[in-house]
Amino acid sequence: MLETLKLSENFYQQYLNPIAKTVEKYLLNEVNIQQELKTMYIKAVTGGMRFRPILQYLGYLVAQGETPEILTPYAASLEILHKASLIHDDLIDQDTHRRGEVSFYSCFGPEAAIAIGDYLVALSLKVLFHAQPPREYWQRFILMHELLCEGELLEVCCLGQEIDIFAAQKISQGKTASLIQFSLSSGALLAGAPPKIQTALDEYGLKLGMVFQTINDLNNLTGLDKLVKGAALTDLKKRRSSVPLAMLDQKIKATEGQSLWAKLDTLEDQELVFFISSLQKSAQQGELQEEVTVFCHKEMQAARNSLLELPPSKIRNILAAVSEEIFSSWFWRPEKGRENSAI
């Protein structure tokens, strides 16, 4: 069993937030933007915990990289690409808020959201080009971006279709886990780590990303997304695939002989209200939450096992702590809630 550190909000602010601030400073001061586009650009790239840049730094440090300052443009490139995916995702999902703030398309409209997302992809590539990464980094970056777009597109194509847990996992692995996975292992790659270390971080990142998306999907059912995204239960209402909904679908098929979507179609208005209320309770503190928690802990145990391939260090312990802290409420609070909390 690994000895872990408590990755509390205080710990994040003291040790990890400085990395986030370094990347943020680069995004706002070092990326050349036409003056008339700056307002939209700032809205597009500000906010968030800079989770993926932090993971890249941790991957670099756990692989015993000695000059972490070289990572800033690489980390900024990752963050810009991530922001592009979020803007397009909010537009596709019609989410009016992101982390408690008004989403980009709600501010500037869908046309601008499409255009700025494409623009950010181009800027991400430009920043990365000027950093002059090794060939293998380029190859893996391109593959990661392909998987990210593939996952998002698969989610769109599967709307309203019968929910399969393996298909839901594939979507999560693409749209979320691929970038988290790459963030970690690419840090090790830039540190010159041997393949064994990079593979261990790949495996850890894949599991971490799966849990990250699964918790996010559960939050959509519990009602937390009402604070974070401006609406809750949107996955259910828009009939999207997710691991929690796939679990619910399996249960309904086993007990009632019909799919979740078929059940929704047969319910009258009052029955539908009651069913959705019971579903929320199950997601908040009932059977569905328990099943999701078991799934996530199993995934995280596999993730922690992959960390055993890394040399013992404080950074390895921090990575182990990350896998625990994504279950914590502070991690998911809207940004205003974080700013106003005692830290």
Contact between 89 and 117 under an 8 Å Cβ cutoff? The reply is no
Specify the pLDDT at position 328: 82
Please state at what angle helix 287-307 crosses helix 195-222, rounded to 10 degrees.
Answer: 170
Specify the pLDDT at position 343: 25
Specify the pLDDT at position 337: 65
Q: Which residue is it, tokens 């009016």?
A: 96
Task: Pick the closest to residue 7 from 261, 305, 328, 253 (CA basis).
Answer: 328
Delimit the domains of the chain by residue range: 9-327
Specify the pLDDT at position 1: 32
- Topology given in CATH for the domain delimited by 9-327: Farnesyl Diphosphate Synthase (1.10.600)
Q: What is the CA radius of gyration of the chain?
A: 20
CA–CA dist 113, 13 (Å, integer) = 31
Specify the pLDDT at position 226: 84
The full length of the chain comes to 343
Specify the pLDDT at position 129: 98
Specify the pLDDT at position 8: 66
CA–CA dist 20, 52 (Å, integer) = 9
Residues of the chain with pLDDT under 50: 1-4, 340-343
Specify the pLDDT at position 193: 97
pLDDT tens figures, 126-156: 999 999 999 999 999 999 999 999 999 999 9
CA–CA dist 305, 149 (Å, integer) = 29
In sequence order, the β-bridge partners of residue 102 are 97
Q: What are phi and psi of 228, to 5 degrees?
A: -85, -40
Specify the pLDDT at position 341: 36
Task: Pick the closest to residue 212 from 49, 5, 342 (CA basis).
Answer: 49
pLDDT tens figures, 268-320: 999 999 999 999 999 999 999 999 999 999 999 999 999 999 999 989 988 98
Specify the pLDDT at position 339: 55
